[in-house]
Amino acid sequence: MPVRALILEGPAGEQPRLRLTHDQPEPSPGPGEALVHVLVAGVCATDLQLSQGYADFRGVLGHEFVGRVDAADDSALAGRRVVADINASCGVCPTCVAGHPHHCPHRRVLGIRGAPGAFAERLAVPRTNLVPVPDSVDD
């Protein structure tokens, strides 16, 4: 089912433009990923810089969010409210194996580099990146 998303688009090297779409394909979580329904997402300076052409990013913006897990291969996460570490490392390179996944040369960064972000109704996130939000904490 298509989802709504705010997309940064345009030719590389040119000023990007924002477009709200109602027909973005729903993410298909891969092995070890969860499908997260975004409840709220914040706009920060990085999003504004990306929208002005920083890093030549194109795609769905947004990396600060609270969501609810719609589907996961870990039943303990199903239905839970979560936030996420936005750095999705490969887990197998020498840097990751040495315990430095945030410096992984192959990492994707949700809404910043190589992975769609949270300015969409749903996104796929590595299960190990999800952090449950206690019920005592508001969205």
Query: What's the pLDDT score for residue 26?
Result: 96
In a domain, 64, yes or no: yes
- Give the domain range for residue 31: 3-132
What is 30-48 written as a DSSP string?
-TTEEEEEEEEEE--HHHH
Tokens encoding 7: 């997309």
pLDDT in tens, 7-50: 999 999 999 999 999 999 999 999 999 999 999 999 999 999 99
In a domain, 139, yes or no: no
In a domain, 27, yes or no: yes
Query: What's the pLDDT score for residue 125?
Result: 98
Query: Could you give the number of structural domains in the chain?
Result: 1
In a domain, 138, yes or no: no
Identify which of 128, 111, 115 has the alpha carbon closest to the alpha carbon of residue 54.
111
pLDDT in tens, 91-132: 999 999 999 999 999 999 999 999 999 999 999 999 999 999
Tokens encoding 41: 């997402």
CATH of the domain at 31: 3.90.180.10
In a domain, 101, yes or no: yes
Instruction: Over range 69-77, report the average pLDDT.
Output: 94
As a residue count, the chain comes to 139
In a domain, 74, yes or no: yes
Q: How far apart are CA 11 and CA 24, in angstroms?
A: 19
Q: Provide the 8-state DSSP code for 97.
A: H
Residues 6+ apart with CB under 8 A from 35: 27, 29, 69, 70, 71, 72, 122, 123, 124
In a domain, 125, yes or no: yes
